[in-house]
Amino acid sequence: MNEQMQMQANALQVDLKQAKHVVFLTGAGVSTHSGIPDYRSKNGIYHGIATPPEKILSTSYLLQQPEQFYDFVQQNMYFPAAQPNPIHTWIANICNQHGWLITQNVDGLDKKADNQHVIEFHGDLYDLYCTKCGQMFSYEVYKNSFRHAKDNGIIRPGIVLYGEPIDQTKLSQSVQKVAEADLIIICGTSFVVYPFAGLLAYASPQAKIWAINKTPLPATNKVKQVVTDALDFIKLVSQTE
């Protein structure tokens, strides 16, 4: 780790100590260290598939071709044995003291890390329900069949599919938390998916903003960017006193 990275880690640690309301905005790059692939990289779940993801992960595909939808999500998106990594734990510790996490991730690992202040912006794969009657199901049931035995309804995960709106309560709460923050940390996301990326527009002009990601963000000059692997940098920040 070079000297510049150490200086950045020191600076973020100072900002964390001074902050009263921290908000994290996270994406798939946080969970890759738990063995969950991201979406669009060469090892991502979208790489090499013939059907566009915008079609496969859409409401119409779910309802018209439920077996193909089910096969795709089961083979590519469910990792029930995955466990939180040190990034999840670090974020959870800060959030439980004086912050909130708004995440694009749908894997439930932030809740597994005992983060009490989580907004799952795009939902949770393990919130499963019947599209016909609304009954909730466990993953143990879903992994055996996507059909509700009682009414033949399609069981689906409670995630935002292409063409569906973000839950308005989550959206409003997210906007409020970002507006209240005096420190915002973007982590493990290229920050190009909207409306998630649009949340930054609600940040206070006085808020300090950091971004930790393997590739640079299309952000303004106000954002302090750390272009590196998030796990490596956060370990450095954690060691900095």
Q: Which residues are catalytic?
A: 122
Phi-psi region of 130 (alpha: psi -120 to 50; beta: other; left: phi over 0): beta
Which residues contact residue 128 at a Cβ distance below 8 angstroms, ignoring those fewer than 6 apart? 136, 137, 138, 139, 141, 142, 155, 156, 157, 158
Q: At what angle do helices 230-239 and 3-18 cross, to 10 degrees?
A: 70
Are 119 and 173 contacting, i.e. CB atoms less than 8 angstroms apart?
yes
* CA atoms of 237 and 11, how far apart (whole Å): 9
Sole residue written with tokens 């912006």: 121
Are 16 and 24 contacting, i.e. CB atoms less than 8 angstroms apart?
no
* CA atoms of 48 and 59, how far apart (whole Å): 22
Closest CA to 26 of 188, 231, 209: 188
* CA atoms of 22 and 101, how far apart (whole Å): 8
